[in-house]
Structure 1
Amino acid sequence: MPTKPAIKQGESMDEKEIIYLEGDTEISEVVEKLRQHEKKPLMLVVPKGALLLQSIVNLKILKNEAAKNQLTLALVTTDKVGQHLASQVGVPVYEDLKAPHPTFVPEKIPPPVEETIELDLTAREKDEEPEVPVHHYQISTQKPLEAEPPSRPLIKPKRSKKRLIFVFILFLIMALAVILFVPSAKITLAIKSEPLDEKLQIRVDTQVSDNDFSTALLKGKAVEKELEKDSEFKTTGKKEVGEKAKGTLTVTNETGVDQVINEGTEFKENDSGLVFTNTTTVIVPKATLNAAGDKVSGTIKTEVAAKEGGSKYNLAVSNYSVNSLDKITAKGGPMTGGTTREVAILTKTDQDNVSQTLFDELVSQLHQEIADTEKNARVLEGAFESKIEFKEFDQKENAETSKFKLKMKVKTKGIVFEEDIYRRLIVFLMEQKLPNNKMLVLSEQDEVATQVAGLDLEKGELKLEGAVKTKMASKLDAAAIKKNLKAKSKDKAKEYLFSLGELSSFEIIAFPGNLKRLPLLSARIKLEIKTE
């Protein structure tokens, strides 16, 4: 039978699609690859002993899928079993990519050994009869008695015995493959754990060229960035303003000398303590004696106004005193015309609060931008020094306003380090602190609280303190356990697991469910270790 070369004469390797498969590639992955390729010759390079070549069913699925996608399929492998199986399902097989002809080509399936092949010889007998009868006198003309025609010969295939042996061997190989690769087991081991808390001292240095786990040293990187922003805020300060109340007071002088009441002199109402100020300078005459010899105090009227605006300064006739002059009193009123309204003002507290708010916002934004720029970098707040480069308010303190703006520029400097390497260092340092018979049990519940213990930007040094909370348990050799469990009955497997001592419980799940022994191959046993 003529064979088809792997590469036709004049045809480049690029015209064929070549896919290289791994030994453990599943049939579903290969089918998906076939569906993704165009209608062109396709060669699958399969390593010796690959799972794909151990089942004739897999090869039939490949052939059917290639036919659906109109692909010309061929295999390249040195696996003898795979070569025979592929030839059985009709897939050409090459020893290597440079082979001009396939090692195995699709074979036609011969008829079963037991099947007989009938040959019709009557036509041949008729063809041999002469067209014109010839009479020979030397031969008797007596017709012989007709004998029964011989039975049709049974012709058996010549290779039937060899094929039977091949089928038997193939059956044994398939049975062995099923025994080795179909059974699987998942064994879950629960071991008792105990808490492990440690504090680790780590140093980050921007001057070193590499990490040194033995001395708890990490390579760091110095970073610097600045940001400017203009934001608007609302004021919180309140102030009562309005028209000032006004009135007239009669000032009395009981002294023997004239008293000068300067403009702005304060008169305090005796009951409320509200203050009014003199609007002009006046001279209060001294006290005198009348004709009867009685003392007559000197008096004068003066205009006053409330020290502040507001309706609370609208007072009835009241008595007033002058703090700076003991012998000077006043009485008068009513005080009228005072009005009150509340306004928002920009206070010093407002300025201080928004300055801190905007500063914190800019620092946080700067740290985030550094984290986005420096991929996988650990950005700790304490590993940076930030300061205000520029700050300006658009309005002054005590200005009557409900809104105001603040423009600020902030600059930050600090040290960062790689997060992944930091975590690996933590695990390394924790393992160094374990006893020889213990192992570290890591989980999502582990805690690593990192604090900055010191920062020196001039030297490029950062000191860290990591408080680690995790667990440890007795050390188990997973490979040795799987090796000792393979091919054991379930009862023997349980006895072995009980003998380990460190386990608090275990669970064995086998496939198929009625499997009495664990798989023969360690690779088919999955071991999962949990802690309690």
Structure 2
Amino acid sequence: MSQIYLEPQEEITTVIDKIKTLSTKEEDVILVAPDNCPLTASIINLKLLAKETKSLDKKLILVTTDTISRNLAGRLGIPVLASVKDVNIMGEENFSEPTAPQPLKEIIHLETPEELKREEKTKLDKNIHIHRYEQPLANDERRVEKEQSPPAASPIPPVSKKNKKRLILAFGIIVLLILVNLFLFSPAKVNLYIASEPLAQNVNLALAGEKLNSTQEISEKFSATGEKEMGEKATGSVTIYNYWDSTNQDISANSVFIKDGKNFYSQQAVSVPGTTIKQGNQVPGTATVTVVAETNGGDYNLAAGRFTITSLPTNKQAQIYAQSALAFTNGSSKKVKIISEDDIARAKQQLSDKLTDKVKEDLNKQAADKNKEILIKAINQQLSSAAADKKAGSQADDFQMTLSATAVVLAFDSQVMRQAVFDNLKTTLPKDKELILDASDETTIDIESQDWEKEELKIAGQVKTRIAPKIDQAELKKKLAGNFTGRGAAFLANTAGYKKADVKIQPTFWLTFPLWTKMINLTIHYE
């Protein structure tokens, strides 16, 4: 036989764990319970213990002098003894069948058959934790020792029957008031944990807004980055010689004359006379023409020499050519800063970004002054003008760029919008569900359109939040009021979406919820 001594505050799960750890050789489990033990005063707990020992092929024996525990054990067919000595004296083979429940000698609260029947159908959830502090119980040995101790040395004057009745009456009134106070006003704190589920829902609604306008201008100086060649082209006069034949050779304007790899262009058209024979010698026809260098630069200031006319056919170029008698001059090069088209475009873009920021800042300030908000992407901005004080291609080191813009947007009250979104969302929920709103909710809002005349926004967006079963807290408190903690735990466990619960009652030895529902502090946590 194995003996398990129960503590006044022992939990059912702890006792079951102890039974499971017993040796398989042990056939009997002797459960020794003190008087007023809450665990053995519950028919549900006794049923669970009997079921557990039976599943382990063991026999449960209860040792207690508590009247309630003995009566309940008798109803369940659990053998009951008054003391551990009875076990040792009688032995297992002499255990008698449990006797019929004895009448109670004191006034206590027993469940009615209907209540017991309901309790039998109720299963306690292991997640419900009933917090109790150790309950002081009577100690028989100390009480006997106290009763056998010698009387005090000083004599106590006898109390009259009348005074005794008064004392008993006063004591009874005090006890009654204490019990009434406990039944009515013992504060209970209940933390109920309910499962929630995610919800992502699209919403569409119209919202009143207030029209805000802004006109802004911005002007800045920018540096010119373009370059332009501002030098002069070399020029000179050349004589064209015609040794080809006796016919005239026409040289058109802008014909190309090359010397030392440098290109020059003739400035006028000429006709070069044909060659002649005088005194037996060939005399070429000649003509003079002015040529100008292809580009600016001193590199075109060439010394006197022969030029090839590349605009002529190749076979004529050796016999028809040009010759300069003097060196070319006036060629020079000089680069200067100019305002390029890219400079104008870059300045416009930079100022446009800054101008947009300036418009946003102004409209946000206007909205904040009215305790409202705006959506930046809903701002309708138009560029009024963009001008530079100098034109592209102008020679300059810098220039001034000026932009101006107008903008309009509808401002709205964010709280009104949030409420409207969730009110719209509530209409789509099942009747037994409710929204669980907190700081982690996500709301994405887009402006579909803005009616400037009606000052109305059409909003489309998505809300990410959570929903949970709808719980009537007032009704739940009514069910808990005046019930034992075990039955109250069953009510909590039957709540839709239930995960777990935590119950604390003051004073901690009290085992019932207060009758006054205002003394029940119910807090619901959603997970």
Is 1:426 aligned to 2:426, yes or no? no
Q: Which residue does 2:211 correspond to in 1?
A: 222
Separation in 2, partners of 1:282, 1:519: 121
What is the alpha-carbon root mean square deviation over aligned residues?
5.2
**Residue 257 of structure 1: how far off its partner (Å):** 4.9
Answer 1 or 2: higher relative contact order, Cα 8 Å, separation at least 6: 2
Contact kept? 1:391, 1:407, Cα under 8 Å = yes
Structure 1 259/323 Cα, relative in aligned 2: closer, same or farther at 3 Å?
A: closer
Q: Which residue among 468, 478, 481 is the counterpart of 1:483?
A: 478
Q: Which residue does 1:463 correspond to in 2?
A: 458
Provide Cα deviations, 1:335-384, integer angstroms capped at 9, x if missing partner: 96435577775633124313532441333133213212322x23234555
Is 1:385 aligned to 2:380, yes or no? yes
Q: Which residue does 1:444 correspond to in 2?
A: 439
Q: Which residue does 1:197 correspond to in 2?
A: 201
Q: Which residue does 1:374 correspond to in 2?
A: 370
Q: Percent identity?
A: 17
Q: Which residue does 1:304 correspond to in 2?
A: 292
Q: Which residue does 1:158 correspond to in 2?
A: none
Is 1:506 aligned to 2:505, yes or no? no
Q: Which residue does 2:272 correspond to in 1?
A: 286
**Residue 429 of structure 1: how far off its partner (Å):** 0.9
Q: Which residue does 2:345 correspond to in 1?
A: 349
Q: Which residue does 1:416 correspond to in 2?
A: 411
Structure 1 334/308 Cα, relative in aligned 2: closer, same or farther at 3 Å?
A: closer
Contact kept? 1:244, 1:313, Cα under 8 Å = no
Contact kept? 2:196, 2:466, Cα under 8 Å = no
Q: Please, which runs of 5 or more residues in structure 2 have no aligned partner?
A: 1-164
Separation in 2, partners of 1:166, 1:236: 107
Secondary structure at 1:434 match in 2: coil
Structure 1 188/284 Cα, relative in aligned 2: closer, same or farther at 3 Å?
A: farther
Secondary structure at 2:523 match in 1: strand
**Residue 185 of structure 1: how far off its partner (Å):** 2.0
Is 1:454 aligned to 2:410, yes or no? no
Structure 1 497/511 Cα, relative in aligned 2: closer, same or farther at 3 Å?
A: closer
**Residue 227 of structure 1: how far off its partner (Å):** 3.0
Provide Cα deviations, 1:374-431, integer angstroms capped at 9, x if missing partner: 22x2323455533344544333334455654344443333433322222111111111
Contact kept? 1:185, 1:518, Cα under 8 Å = no
Secondary structure at 2:426 match in 1: helix
Contact kept? 1:268, 1:320, Cα under 8 Å = yes
Provide Cα deviations, 1:45-86, integer angstroms capped at 9, x if missing partner: xxxxxxxxxxxxxxxxxxxxxxxxxxxxxxxxxxxxxxxxxx
Secondary structure at 2:272 match in 1: coil
Structure 1 313/360 Cα, relative in aligned 2: closer, same or farther at 3 Å?
A: farther
Provide Cα deviations, 1:305-349, integer angstroms capped at 9, x if missing partner: 45467x998999998888999999989999964355777756331
Provide Cα deviations, 1:145-172, integer angstroms capped at 9, x if missing partner: xxxxxxxxxxxxxxxx999999998998
Separation in 2, partners of 1:511, 1:320: 118
Contact kept? 2:348, 2:386, Cα under 8 Å = no
Contact kept? 2:381, 2:408, Cα under 8 Å = yes
Q: Which residue does 2:127 correspond to in 1?
A: none
Q: Which residue does 1:84 correspond to in 2?
A: none
Contact kept? 2:198, 2:467, Cα under 8 Å = yes
Secondary structure at 1:500 match in 2: coil
Structure 1 486/353 Cα, relative in aligned 2: closer, same or farther at 3 Å?
A: same
Q: Which residue does 1:474 correspond to in 2?
A: 469
Comparing 312-321 with 399-408, greater Cα deviation is found at: 312-321
Contact kept? 2:469, 2:496, Cα under 8 Å = no
**Residue 293 of structure 1: how far off its partner (Å):** 10
- The residue type paired with residue 442 of structure 1 is L
Q: Please, which runs of 5 or more residues in structure 1 have no aligned partner?
A: 1-160, 204-217
Separation in 1, partners of 2:241, 2:477: 115
Q: Which residue among 224, 246, 264 is the counterpart of 2:234?
A: 246
Separation in 1, partners of 2:360, 2:218: 16
Size of the aligned set, in residue pairs, is 346
Structure 1 354/330 Cα, relative in aligned 2: closer, same or farther at 3 Å?
A: farther
Q: Which residue does 1:71 correspond to in 2?
A: none
Separation in 1, partners of 2:453, 2:260: 66
Contact kept? 1:344, 1:400, Cα under 8 Å = yes
What are the within-5 Å matches in structure 2 for residues 63-82 of structure 1? none
Provide Cα deviations, 1:93-126, integer angstroms capped at 9, x if missing partner: xxxxxxxxxxxxxxxxxxxxxxxxxxxxxxxxxx
Contact kept? 2:208, 2:457, Cα under 8 Å = no
TM-score, normalised by the number of residues in structure 2: 0.50
Separation in 2, partners of 1:456, 1:429: 21
**Residue 434 of structure 1: how far off its partner (Å):** 1.0
- The residue type paired with residue 362 of structure 1 is K
Separation in 1, partners of 2:179, 2:398: 86
Separation in 2, partners of 1:230, 1:394: 14
Provide Cα deviations, 1:439-460, integer angstroms capped at 9, x if missing partner: 2222323222222222332454
Contact kept? 2:226, 2:338, Cα under 8 Å = yes
Contact kept? 1:251, 1:284, Cα under 8 Å = no
Is 1:396 aligned to 2:427, yes or no? no
Separation in 2, partners of 1:467, 1:364: 25
What are the within-5 Å matches in structure 2 for residues 132-151 of structure 1? none
Contact kept? 1:287, 1:295, Cα under 8 Å = no
Separation in 1, partners of 2:178, 2:191: 27
